[in-house]
Amino acid sequence: MNKIPSALSLGIRRGGLEIKQFSRQRESVVFTLLFPVILLVIFGSVFTDTIAPNVTFSQYFVAGMIASGLVNTGFQALAITIPLERDFGALKRLRGTPMPASSYFIGKAILV
């Protein structure tokens, strides 16, 4: 007899699909991954001061760029994709599958 997959394993698989969908949207990839790197290169070359002993501005700025990428993915990408999925009827189709809603949100959390 086949074992029924858990909500966590379905969520992990859903996370893989979310990452695949995200990587196919060029605008999202550019603004989430490349834009912070470009800003780091620009500001790192302009500001060469040291903020604290043995801490350059570039090292300090890396933490801000990581946070920028997470916030961009977490708020902007999710705030845009969930209503679009609702408008296109994808959420209704997902409700018709045996996948629990918690797996959907686990998949979205993996994307972030």
Residue 82, domain member (yes or no):
yes
Calculate what percentage of the chain has a pLDDT beyond 70.
Answer: 99
Q: Provide the strand spans (E) within the chain.
A: 50-52, 55-56
In a domain, 2, yes or no: no
Q: Which domain holds residue 98?
A: 7-111
Q: Which two tokens mark 82?
A: 């969930």
Average pLDDT, the chain: 85
Query: What is the number of structural domains in the chain?
Result: 1
68-110, pLDDT tens digit by residue? 778 877 777 788 888 999 999 999 999 999 899 999 999 988 9
For residue 14, the model assigns a pLDDT of: 93
Please check whether residue 39 lies inside any domain of the structure: yes
Residue 41 lies in a domain: yes
> Is the pLDDT assigned to residue 12 strictly greater than 90?
yes
| DSSP-assigned states of every residue in 30-42 | IIIIIHHHHHHHH
Residue 1 included in any domain:
no
In a domain? residue 60 = yes
For residue 93, tell me if it sits in a domain. Answer: yes
Residues 6+ apart with CB under 8 A from 97: none
Whether residue 12 is contained in a domain is answered as yes
pTM of the model: 0.72
